[in-house]
């Protein structure tokens, strides 16, 4: 593997991990808001149990993605930084409100509801805007005005392709998070919350698949080069769709002790589904980072820097791995934590 491929693979890995963690994070925030009014269910508590310890760790991943972009592909970062000034700033503003009010809502019990609404809604908007980075890299939205690259925000917001990405981001966020929370509720042995999240996942799964189809259809018209590339990876896409079916089955087959479905299997198959699809997307996207001007080759960093960075990745991973395992054991597996009220 050449250095460039190694770099883009690491970057892809980070983006994928962030995408999954962020959907869980923002989705859990949304569900916690949606069910806050009903006193009958524990669904909000379940969402908060997931959210409280994880949101900081999730946030580090977005920083890691940004840092990986500018350390591996500095020239791409130049163009992205210039073009994304407005959407990037909007995301940052939303993120500031979202994180701040998420923390505040847990501390100020008298105003928990309004604060949760603010963080839930801002968090819900973030993936919808964040995903726009992808269609922007497909080309056609950047204009050169007096030597300065400028984003044509109007064309982005009216492009069916970009809008289908928005739909996809929103529905996937809600789909994946409800799936995960269903699993989490099962660990907590909270049947009522489980049924709610299982139902939500069953509704949202098909919506997310339809929006993925919509992306492919509009891509054919707006980014033919990419569509062509993805057709080379049709096999991966088909397997990905098959995994979606597996998730669906996992949610409806009868399980033990009167619990319908095997949510853990559903989480795993959905994870594989998204991994395969984004692998196909990522491969087809190569060699372009931003079509048609920035490729992985012409945007690449200095080789000496790359080697030093790569060594730091390995060392960092070895140091951090036990910490992640310990964290996982304490919050995702320990029933004492998950079951306990507040």
Partner 1 sequence: MGDVVIARSLFGTTMGFHIIFATLGVGIPLMILIAELMYQKTNNRDYAIMAKRWTKAKAVLLGVAIPTGTIAGVQLSLLWPGFMEVIGKVMALPFQIEIYAFFVEALFISIYVYAADRISPWMRILSVTLVTIGAAASAVLITNVHAFEGTPAGFRIENGEIVDVDPWAAFFNPSFVVTAGHVAVSAFMTGAFVIASVAAYKMLRNRGNKRIFQFHRKALMMGLIVGGIFSFMTALNGHESAQQLHQFQPEKLAAAEGLFKTQSHAPLAIGGFTDRETQEVKWGLEIPWALSFLADDRFDTVVVGLNDFPEEYWPPLFVHTLFNGMVGIGSFLILLSFLGFLWSKILKRPTFPTWLMWLFVAGGPLAMLAIEFGWIFACTGRQPWVIYRVMLTADAVTGNQNLALLFFAFAAIYVLLGIAVVLVLRYYFKRHPLEDEWKESDSTTNGIHA
| Residue ranges that bind ligand HEM, judged by CB under 6 A | 56, 59-60, 63
Applying CB under 8 A, which of residues 2, 9, 82, 298 lies at the interface with partner 1? 82
With the C-alpha atoms ordered 270, 276, 279, 280, is the resulting torsion angle positive or negative?
negative
Q: Which does 82 bind (CB under 5 to 8 A by kind): ligand HEM, partner 1, none?
A: partner 1
Is 97 an interacting residue with respect to partner 1 (CB under 8 A)?
yes
CB of 64 to ligand HEM, least distance (A): 9
CB of 86 to partner 1, least distance (A): 8
Q: Which residue is nearest to ligand HEM (CB)?
A: 59
Applying CB under 8 A, which of residues 77, 126, 251, 294 lies at the interface with partner 1? 77
Stretch that binds partner 1, among 94-102, 215-223, 244-252, 267-275 (CB under 8 A): 94-102
Burial of residue 332, with CB atoms counted within 10 A of its CB: 0-12 exposed, 13-18 middle, 19 or more buried: middle
Q: Which does 302 bind (CB under 5 to 8 A by kind): partner 1, ligand HEM, none?
A: partner 1
DSSP string, 98-124: HHHHHHHHHH-GGGHHHHHHHHHHHHH
- How far lies 245's CA from each of 240, 259, 265, 272, in Å? 9, 20, 12, 12
CB of 296 to partner 1, least distance (A): 14
- Alpha-carbon distance of 258 to 261, in angstroms, equals 9
Direct distance between the N- and C-terminal alpha carbons of the chain, in angstroms, rounded to an integer: 49
Burial of residue 239, with CB atoms counted within 10 A of its CB: 0-12 exposed, 13-18 middle, 19 or more buried: middle
| Residues at the contact surface with partner 1, assessed by CB under 8 A | 52-54, 56-57, 59-60, 62-64, 66-68, 70-75, 77-82, 84-86, 88-89, 92-93, 95-104, 107-110, 147-150, 301-302, 304-305, 308-309, 312-313, 316, 319-320, 323-324, 326-327, 330-331, 334, 336-337
């Amino acid at each position: 593997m050449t250095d460039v491929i190694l770099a883009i693979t690491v970057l892809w890995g980070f983006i994928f991990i962030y995408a999954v963690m962020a959907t869980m994070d923002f989705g859990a925030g949304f569900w916690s808001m949606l069910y806050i009014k009903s006193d009958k269910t524990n669904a909000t508590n379940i969402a908060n149990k997931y959210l409280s310890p994880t949101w900081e760790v999730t946030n580090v991943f977005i920083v890691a993605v940004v840092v990986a972009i500018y350390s591996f592909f500095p020239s791409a970062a130049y163009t992205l930084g210039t073009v994304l000034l407005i959407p990037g700033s909007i995301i940052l503003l939303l993120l500031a409100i979202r994180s701040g009010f998420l923390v505040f809502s847990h501390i100020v019990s008298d105003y928990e509801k309004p604060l949760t609404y603010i963080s839930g809604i801002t968090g819900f908007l973030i993936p919808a805007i964040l995903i726009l980075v992808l269609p922007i890299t497909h080309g056609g939205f950047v204009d050169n005005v007096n030597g300065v690259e400028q984003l044509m925000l109007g064309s982005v917001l009216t492009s069916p392709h970009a809008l289908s990405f928005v739909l996809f981001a929103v529905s996937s966020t809600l789909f994946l998070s409800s799936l995960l929370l269903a699993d989490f509720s099962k660990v907590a042995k909270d049947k009522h919350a489980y049924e709610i999240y299982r139902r939500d996942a069953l509704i949202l799964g098909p919506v997310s698949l339809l929006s993925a189809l919509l992306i492919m259809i509009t891509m054919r018209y707006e980014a033919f080069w990419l569509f062509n590339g993805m057709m080379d990876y049709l096999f991966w896409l088909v397997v990905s769709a098959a995994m979606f079916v597996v998730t669906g089955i996992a949610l409806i087959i009868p399980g033990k002790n009167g619990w319908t479905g095997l949510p853990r299997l559903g989480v795993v198959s959905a994870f594989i589904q998204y991994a395969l699809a984004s692998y196909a997307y990522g491969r087809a996207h190569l060699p372009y980072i931003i079509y048609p001007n920035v490729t992985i080759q012409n945007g690449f960093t200095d080789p000496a820097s790359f080697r030093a960075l790569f060594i730091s990745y390995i060392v960092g991973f070895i140091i951090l791995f036990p910490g992640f395992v310990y964290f996982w054991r304490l919050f995702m597996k320990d029933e004492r934590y998950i079951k306990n009220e507040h």
